[in-house]
Chain A
């Protein structure tokens, strides 16, 4: 379970998160929608401590993420993350990209790490690209590689930060299909996304962010079909 309690986050004078409360249970898919600059991505970065927080707590399976005593590298193994820019490691082959962390972080043997990596890469449809270099692949393929690379650490939670926003339109589908695959596997996911239709289809809960606060949260039917708040209605009328 991921528990986010009263989280505040500022960059200098700019307060980006103004008190976020959110609980994500195992097996749940939670989508976060909202305008750019509303703090959606920042929250994801705070969950795996790539960004620090100013106030509040984020608890993952009972462990306080921002406690100084927490072994953050150990904790991050439970929180797979995929970025808007896929960030493949250009000097490594597809297989090496996915097998590296299991090897050097978890200490698995090369064979075991490559077996897991191969399994995950095949799962996302890159089984025939194992020995290619990512720079030669399309954005969609590189994003699927990024997903497989995170999955190879076998995390119980996955964080997705606008993973289709930087893709050419014709490549969005293959990445969304991969996310559907994970949802069907029962993966716990937090998806920051601009794909409203997708959020409606896969989510258990949808949270609408507005200026650093959760304006509205509920089932996709509640938030997307019958939004109660005026700001949610305005946002949805612009993007739908």
Chain B
């Protein structure tokens, strides 16, 4: 094997562009999580609903989201919808696909968290004279939130990493930006190594922040 000579200068010169890409990565992940969480609540309620229509809509959504590759969903949004005259930008395509998947996974997380609270907690709270709103507000939801917190963090990290699929539809997030820069400079190894470190730093920061928040909010009790 020939000795490969590393040239870092070209990467450092392009660092502001990489940072812009990283910002887009975080941006699309955060937004897809927020919207995903809102839809996931509705899907979880649908999956637990007695009304058949809601149940089936939620079930089909969750099944597709959990059992198809993210890449296909991104392609579907970017190329597939084009067949119907709907032309989404790379950003919106990746965003929609991530929202779709986040919602599906989180819906099951929420449902599991909800069902993991023993029924006796309701009885105990009700026996103290709390109405349903208070039972949820003070007893059920706080406990549920503790149980879904870490799975939610994992989903967030997943979103950050999966948004790199944006590279395939020409999105200018961190991977797309890296791809563009390496193709004009031919410093493939350097650029992707730096990008990998940047992904690592972003996800580590997210996990650290999540742990700090958990320690602050949940104090010494059950995790």
Question: Interface residues, chain A, CB within 8 Å of chain B?
Answer: 45, 48, 50, 73-74, 76-77, 79-81, 83, 85, 87, 89-93, 100-101, 104-106, 133, 135, 146, 149-150, 153
A89-B129 CB under 8 A given contacts A105-B134, A135-B221 = no
| In-complex Cβ contact of B138 among A74, A104, A153 (8 A) | A104
A90 touches B221 (CB 8 A): yes
A91 touches B129 (CB 8 A): no
Question: Interface residues, chain B, CB within 8 Å of chain A?
Answer: 118, 120-121, 123-131, 134, 138-139, 142-143, 146, 218, 220-222
B129 touches A50 (CB 8 A): no
Instruction: List 9 additional A-B contacts (Cβ < 8 Å) besides A87-B120, A146-B124.
Output: A77-B128, A77-B129, A89-B124, A89-B125, A91-B221, A100-B138, A101-B130, A133-B221, A150-B127
A76 touches B129 (CB 8 A): yes
Number of A-B contacts (CB under 8 A): 70
Q: What separation, in Å, do the CA atoms of A190 and B218 have in the docked complex?
A: 37
Q: What separation, in Å, do the CA atoms of A80 and B143 have in the docked complex?
A: 23
A-B contact pairs, 19 of them (CB 8 A): A50-B126, A50-B127, A76-B126, A77-B128, A77-B129, A81-B124, A83-B120, A89-B121, A89-B125, A89-B139, A91-B218, A100-B128, A105-B130, A105-B134, A106-B129, A133-B220, A133-B221, A146-B124, A150-B127
Q: What separation, in Å, do the CA atoms of A204 and B130 have in the docked complex?
A: 31
A79 touches B222 (CB 8 A): no
The chain A residue with its CB closest to the CB of B146 is: A91
The chain A residue with its CB closest to the CB of B144 is: A91
Chain B residue numbers with a CB within 8 Å of A146 are 124
The chain B residue with its CB closest to the CB of A51 is: B123
The chain A residue with its CB closest to the CB of B130 is: A105
Q: What separation, in Å, do the CA atoms of A138 and B118 have in the docked complex?
A: 19
A48 touches B130 (CB 8 A): no
B222 touches A135 (CB 8 A): yes
Q: What separation, in Å, do the CA atoms of A206 and B13 have in the docked complex?
A: 88
Q: What separation, in Å, do the CA atoms of A143 and B121 have in the docked complex?
A: 14
Chain B residue numbers with a CB within 8 Å of A100 are 128, 138
The chain A residue with its CB closest to the CB of B220 is: A133
A104 touches B123 (CB 8 A): no
**Nearest 4 A/B pairs, CB to CB:** A87-B124, A101-B128, A81-B127, A77-B129
Q: What separation, in Å, do the CA atoms of A217 and B204 have in the docked complex?
A: 68
Among B124, B131, B218, B222, max chain A CB count under 10 A is at B124
Chain A residue numbers with a CB within 8 Å of B143 are 89-91
Q: What separation, in Å, do the CA atoms of A26 and B131 have in the docked complex?
A: 27
A76 touches B222 (CB 8 A): no
Chain B residue numbers with a CB within 8 Å of A93 are 221
Q: What separation, in Å, do the CA atoms of A43 and B142 have in the docked complex?
A: 31
A76 touches B127 (CB 8 A): yes
Smallest Cβ distance from A77 to chain B, in angstroms?
Answer: 4
| In-complex Cβ contact of A149 among B120, B121, B128, B146 (8 A) | B128
B121 touches A73 (CB 8 A): no
Q: What separation, in Å, do the CA atoms of A80 and B126 have in the docked complex?
A: 10
Q: What separation, in Å, do the CA atoms of A104 and B128 have in the docked complex?
A: 10
The chain A residue with its CB closest to the CB of B128 is: A101
Chain A residue numbers with a CB within 8 Å of B118 are 87
The chain B residue with its CB closest to the CB of A105 is: B129
Q: What separation, in Å, do the CA atoms of A101 and B139 have in the docked complex?
A: 11
Q: What separation, in Å, do the CA atoms of A74 and B218 have in the docked complex?
A: 31
Q: What separation, in Å, do the CA atoms of A186 and B42 have in the docked complex?
A: 50
Smallest Cβ distance from A146 to chain B, in angstroms?
Answer: 8
